[in-house]
Amino acid sequence: MKIDIKAHVTATIIAQIEEGTPPWRKPWTGDTPGIPFPRRHNGEQYRGINVLMLCATASIHGFQSSHWMTFRQALELGGCVRKGEKATRSVYYGTYERDAENTQTGEPETRQSRFAKVNNVFNADQIEGLPEDYYIRPEPPRDLGTQSDPELDAFFAATGAEIITSDEPRAYFHPVKDIIHMPPIATFFEASRYYGVLGHETVHWVCGPKRLDTQKVKCNKR
């Protein structure tokens, strides 16, 4: 199937804007600080639009490793992509030489043309058996002593949303379970950031199928 690369890149950027809090502004502790700069299997850093696309994917899925590679590259390194894992598309830009005719002299000449293609890549966290330095082990959440605000707690309780708190360092609305999950407020750098994230997830909850219906209003699970 032929892929419209420009449309794919545009759709990816729009989806990440709609997701809300960007990865470089994650306001709570746990995992690694921020999203690691994406690298190829050989350690070379990605550039351009791939940085945005792979960082966004890592943020959504909680990937810790900075390394991305194709299925074949994983095999060459002794690893194996876990069954059921889905690839992420990266964009590769290159040039090739082609024979052409000089429009002024009519003589044959060689010209360079640019091309773009997509590669299906996997994060190292989706792959088993790679050398240990391809993985980053997550840091546990830290208790920063951030205190809750009783008035704001009462406000969100009055919405009727079921808010679940656990040590999992992720904030999201789960449309199937119809719950909001939040990390403990003590792991946030500031209480205002906690309630800002909770407000964002409450908007997703409001757009749930039992209320405004996600099929009609474009509110997506983070």
| CA of residue 150 relative to chain centroid, distance | 33
Give CA separation, 186 vs 35, 95, 144, 153, 214, in Å.
21, 52, 5, 14, 31
Give CA separation, 4 vs 16, 63, 72, 85, 153, in Å.
19, 26, 24, 23, 46
Predicted confidence at residue 137, as pLDDT, reads: 72
Instruction: With a cut of 50, say whether residue 198 has pLDDT above it.
Output: yes
**106-150 residue pLDDT tens:** 778 777 777 778 889 999 999 999 999 998 876 788 899 999 999
User: Which token pair is 21?
Assistant: 């809090």
Alpha-carbon distance 130 to 134, whole Å?
7
Predicted confidence at residue 148, as pLDDT, reads: 95
Give domain limits for the chain. 1-137, 141-222
Confidence of residue 220 (pLDDT cuts 50, 70, 90): very low
The helix (H) or strand (E) run that includes residue 11 is: helix 5-19
Give the residue carrying structure tokens 């590679």.
Answer: 69
Determine the 3-state secondary structure of 81 from DSSP.
strand
The helix (H) or strand (E) run that includes residue 115 is: strand 108-123
Alpha-carbon distance 222 to 20, whole Å?
8
Predicted confidence at residue 9, as pLDDT, reads: 64
Predicted confidence at residue 49, as pLDDT, reads: 84
User: Which token pair is 18?
Assistant: 């709609």
Alpha-carbon distance 91 to 121, whole Å?
10
Instruction: With a cut of 80, say whether residue 13 has pLDDT above it.
Output: no
Sheet with 68-69, side-by-side order of all strands: 68-69, 108-123, 88-101
Handedness of CA 73, 76, 79, 83 (dihedral sign): positive
Confidence of residue 33 (pLDDT cuts 50, 70, 90): very low
